[in-house]
Amino acid sequence: MLGLFGRYRGTVRRTGLMWVNPLLLRRRVDVRLRHWRSEPMLAADGNGVALRAVTLVVWRVRDTARATLGVEDHETYLRECVEAALARVPVEPLGTVRSSADVAGETLTRLVAADAAPVGLEVFSVRPVRVEYAPEVAAAMHRRRIAALDAAQRASVLTAVVDSVEDTVTRLTMRGLVELDDYERKVLVKDLTVAFCAGRGDTGP
C-alpha cells in the first residue's frame, strides 16, 4: 500500500522490480488467505452460563487501503469483532449438541463478516473449535449433568419394573393360576414391585 502525506496513493500487487517514488510511504499488507485461532474468549450458553470459547477464523484482506487507513490495526479490529459476536451469540460445549454448534458458527460468521467488511476484511468462516465452561462454573455443571443422568436412569428402571409387574400379573390372571379381587391384586402388585426393585438393586452396577 502506497501513501503520500497521509493520503492513499495506490496498491501494488505485482512482483518484480519496479520504480517507486521515494517520497511515498510504503507499507506491506498480507493479502493471502489466513487462518487465525483465537485465544479463549468469554461466551455464554443459551441459559447465560459463562463459557470459554476458542474460535478458528478464516479471513483475508480484500481492500488494503481500508484495512490500513480505516483502523489502527486491522488484526486487532478483527479480534474485537469476534469478541463482540461471541457476546451476542449463545454457544454450547462441543460434544453436547452438534447441530447447535453448527448454527452458532454460521451466525458468528455472518456477524463478524458484516462488521469486518467496512474496513476491507473478508471473513469466510468463524467456527468454535473448543468450548468449555468457565472454571468457576465447571464443577457445578458437571454435578448437574451427573444428576440428570441419575434421574434418567432411575426413570428407566422404574418403567422397566412397572412393565414387568404388569406383565406378570396379567399372565397369572389370564392363565387362571390365581383369582384376585381388587385388594389382593393391589397387594400382589406391591409385593412384586418390591421384589423386582430389590432384585435390580442386587444385580445392578
Residue type (1 letter), 97: V
Residue 168: pLDDT band (50, 70, 90) is confident
Banded pLDDT at 5 (limits 50, 70, 90): very low
Number of folded domains that form the chain: 2
Residues 95 and 50 in one domain: yes
125 shares its domain with 106: yes
Same domain, 73 and 155: no
Residue where a domain stops, chosen among 133, 166, 194: 133
107/85 Cα distance (integer angstroms): 9
Q: Are residues 166 and 110 in the same domain?
A: no
Mark whether 119 and 41 lie in a shared domain: yes
pLDDT the model gives residue 193: 75
Lowest mean pLDDT among 5-14, 24-33, 86-95, 121-130: 5-14
Q: Which structural domain range is residue 179 located in?
A: 138-203
Reply yes or no on whether the pLDDT at 204 is more than 50.
no
pLDDT given for residue 10 in this prediction: 56
At residue 120, the pLDDT reads 92
Q: Facing residues of 8 across strands?
A: 3
Does 9 fall in a domain? no
Question: Last residue of some domain: 109, 133, 157?
Answer: 133
Question: How far apart, in whole angstroms, are the C-alpha atoms of residue 43 and residue 62?
Answer: 28
- Between 129 and 148, name the one with better pLDDT: 129
Backbone angles phi, psi at 186, to 5 degrees: -65, -40
pLDDT band at 1 (very low <50, low <70, confident <90, very high): very low
Rounded to the nearest angstrom, the gap between the alpha carbon of residue 87 and the centroid of all alpha carbons in its chain is 13
35: CB partners within 8 A, 6+ apart = 56, 57, 58
Degrees, nearest 5: CA angle 25-29-120: 105
Task: Give the model's confidence band at 199: pLDDT under 50 very low, under 70 low, under 90 confident, else very high.
Answer: low
pLDDT of 110 above 60: yes
Q: Are residues 62 and 102 in the same domain?
A: yes
> Where does a domain end: 87, 111, 133?
133
Is 12 inside a domain boundary?
no
- Does the residue 55 lie in any domain? yes
pTM passes above 0.85: no
Contact 4, 25 (CB under 8 A): yes
What DSSP character marks residue 118?
G
Quick check: is 2 in a domain?
no
- Are 155 and 187 in a shared domain? yes
Q: What are the cell numbers at 90?
A: 449463545
Q: What is the mean pLDDT of residues 55-65?
A: 92
